[in-house]
Amino acid sequence: MICVEKSVLDSALSIFKAAKTVVWMTGAGMSAESGIPTFRDAQSGLWARFDPQQLASAEGYRADPASVWSWYQWRRRLVVKAKPHAGHFALAEFQKAFGHGLITQNVDGLHQLAGASEVIELHGNIRSSSCFAQRHPLSVPMPDINDVADAELLESPPHCPLCGSTARPDVVWFGESLPMDALQHAEALSYGCDVFVSVGTSSQVYPAAGFALLAKSQGAKIIEINPVATPLSEQNDCAIRGQASEVLPLIAKRLLLN
Ligand code: OAD
C-alpha cells in the first residue's frame, strides 16, 4: 500500500471543487484489485505472458479460432469471478451526485456492476459476442464457473445460426476501429470538460490516451491516479500515486461529505 500525501490529495480536491464538468477515464489498473490482470505490468500483465498478435487480432483469430476463443473464455471466467471494489463504487457515486462522465478502456463491465450508468466502453465488452464474419450478435452465456462440464463445452467457439461463422468476443482487437458512437461521445466529453482524470491506465494506447491531451488543449486540468508515472505524466496538474481502491474512496470521502 502506498500512502497518499495529504498535500497531493488537497490539491486534487481543490481542482475538483473548482470544476463544473469532470470526466473520468479508467484502464486495466482499475480492475487489477478485482482480480483481473492488467496488460502491461511487467510480470503479471497479460502482454508479458501472451502474444497480442495471436490473441487480439483478426489475423490471429483466422489462424486459430479455437485457441483465441478458449483464451477469451479463460478471461471471461476471471470476469465472472470478479467483483467491483470500493473504487468502482466511488466512481458510481460521483456520477450520481455530480453527473461526472465515465469513459473506460475496460471490457469487464465492473463499473456497471457497481451502479454506474452511461459508461462509455471504448474497447467493447467481453461479456457479449458476435460472429467473426458478419458481426451478427450472438447470445453466448458467460461461463458457469461452478460447472466443469460447462467449462469444457465452451472451449470451442459456437457457430452463428445465420451465417455459420464462428463466435468472437465483442472487444476491439489491434488493427480494428473503436465503436464510432463511443469514440464520438468520449471525444465530446473530453473536449468540453474542466477536469480529466485518468485512473489505472498506462496511457500508451491511442486514441484513448489522446483524450487527456484533447482535454488539456481546451484548458482542462489533468489528474492521474496510478502507482507509477506514465508517458503522459508530464501533462498532469496533479498526480496521485496510489491504487484505485484506496485513492478513489479517499476522494469520495472528502468530495461527497463536504
Ligand atoms: P495497461 O496494462 O497498459 O496499464 C495498466 C496501468 O494500471 C499501469 O500504468 C499500472 O501502473 C496501473 N495500475 C496497476 N494497478 C493499479 C491499481 N491498483 N490502481 C491504479 N492503477 C494501477 O492497461 P491499459 O492502459 O488499460 O486494449 O491498456 C490499454 C489497452 O491496451 C487495453 O484496453 C487493451 C490493451 O491492449 C484492448 O483490449 C483493445
The strands making up 22-26's β-sheet, listed across from edge to edge, are 120-121, 101-104, 22-26, 195-199, 221-225, 238-240
Instruction: Please give the chain's pLDDT, 258 residues, in tens.
Output: 567 888 999 999 999 999 999 999 999 999 999 999 999 998 889 999 999 999 999 999 999 999 999 999 999 999 999 999 999 999 999 999 999 999 999 999 999 999 999 999 999 999 999 999 999 999 999 988 777 666 555 678 999 999 999 999 999 999 999 999 999 999 999 999 999 999 999 999 999 999 999 999 999 999 999 999 999 999 999 999 999 999 999 999 999 986
187-218 residue pLDDT tens: 999 999 999 999 999 999 999 999 999 999 99
* Angle between helix 180-192 and helix 210-217 axes, rounded to 10 deg: 40
Cα of 134 from ligand 1 centre, angstroms:
30
Q: Is the CB of 41 under 6 A from ligand 1?
A: yes
- Active-site position among 88, 100, 123, 136: 123
Among protein residues, the one with the nearest Cα to ligand 1's atom 25 is 201
The model carries a pTM of 0.96
Residue 87 and residue 74 in contact, taking contact as beta carbons nearer than 8 Å:
no
